[in-house]
Amino acid sequence: MQPYKPEKVFVERAVAESVITRNVLGNLPMAQVEWIDEAGQMVDKSRRWNPSIARAKQSLVLARHPGRFFKPCPAGTTKTGRRNVCCNYFVVNFASNCHMECSYCYLQAYLNLPYMVVHANVEDLLDELGQVFSSNPRSHYRVGTGELADSLALDSLTGYSRPLVEFFAGFTNAALEFKTKSNCVENLLQLDHRGRTVVSWSINPPTVVQAEEHKTASFEQRLAAAEKCSAAGYPIVFHFDPLIHYPEWEKDYRSLVEEIFQRIPPRSVPWVSLGALRMPPRLKALVRERFPRSGLPLGELLPTEDGKLRYFKPIRVEMLSKMRAWITAASPQTRIYSCMENTDVWQKVFQSQQPPSEVELGDSLLQLL
């Protein structure tokens, strides 16, 4: 994976003294830098540009996030008001946009920015989290940073991981998850994380990575990075999501699972998640336009009750069930759950009468750390 190197950096004066700003400018001595008073208007204006411009993403914006960082994950709520099975996850949006180009990424239908945006006021983020965790000591929080951006793809520039890992190491009722398709883990390896930071990878077979996950780290690079983090004592998580259905999927995914647990000690993997491909209807047309060689729009994707396009339910149940069986055979102690699926699919895959509540599922995962 090639590191992200923007040609120009816009810096909001409000974050001039931020450690994140210092890190970025120190790591990009040759980049053109422009100081600005307020990034909001510039970013909002760019949303009206042609979406194809967003492919370049050659400019980085360092700005102050004016609102709240911390919020519940929106995954469980659908546009129709129905609830998918969810895991009581919380998110912190420290950045927006991704320079990697996964054909199926929902951000291309959600964000239309020609900029990578990093919210450099990390001190405000940590103050906000500290108030939440300290005010609710009996509540438990799993917090991820990968909703609107890859958690680690820019970390070699920003160093954002260091203050976050060190902060979460001081709490017993919260855990941090970095979710990535990169191999940018060098900043993590010497930190005193105390087991309160999970490093996770969205993972697919090499065939899928090559065809659909452009500019990401290869499967081998991701697994090598996971080995480094496991050796440094981090809990390692894999998100087999999105599972892609194609003629050789069964052979490829089974080999994928076997290789992962041959190289990563099962005791290092407290849980994994499963999720089949889904997309909003608008995204299918964007994939056709932006990635004409992608086979994803040719799959049997049907409208479902949550408003998304998904594989026919029997296909999803088959894929999730076989993945569950292969993972259980390779690592019996690893907890498996499925995100963004309805109750009916959960019951068929996990052979249960009723899925756990959000709080029950979330708390059970934290207890594995």
CA distance 282 to 285: 6
What does the angle CA 229 – CA 96 – CA 146 come to, to the nearest 5 degrees?
35
CA nearest to 107, candidates 148, 137, 50: 148
Asked whether residue 229 carries a pLDDT value surpassing 60, the answer given is yes
> 275-312 as b/e, with b when 16 or more CB fall inside 10 Å?
bbbbbeeebbebbeeebeebebbebebeebebebbbbe
CA distance 328 to 38: 51
CA nearest to 107, candidates 179, 54, 46, 177: 54
Asked whether residue 234 carries a pLDDT value surpassing 50, the answer given is yes
CA distance 52 to 166: 39
CATH numbers and ranges of domains, the chain: 64-101+120-366 (3.80.30.30)
CA pseudo-torsion sign 369, 195, 133, 339: negative
Query: Per the structure block, which two tokens stand in for 35?
Result: 């100081």
Asked whether residue 80 carries a pLDDT value surpassing 50, the answer given is no
Average pLDDT over residues 219-223: 98
Per the confidence metrics, is the pTM higher than 0.85?
A: yes
CA nearest to 6, candidates 111, 122, 119, 99: 99
The highest-confidence range among 111-115, 181-185, 298-302, 304-308, by mean pLDDT, is: 181-185
Return the residue matching tokens 């906000």.
128
Partner residues linked to 191 by β-bridges: none
User: Mapping DSSP to helix (H, G, I), strand (E, B) and coil, where does residue 177 land?
Assistant: strand
Distance of CA 90 to the CA centre of its chain: 12
Question: 256: part of which helix (H) or strand (E)?
Answer: helix 249-263
- For 48-68, what is each residue's pLDDT tens digit? 555 444 455 789 999 999 999
CA distance 112 to 108: 6
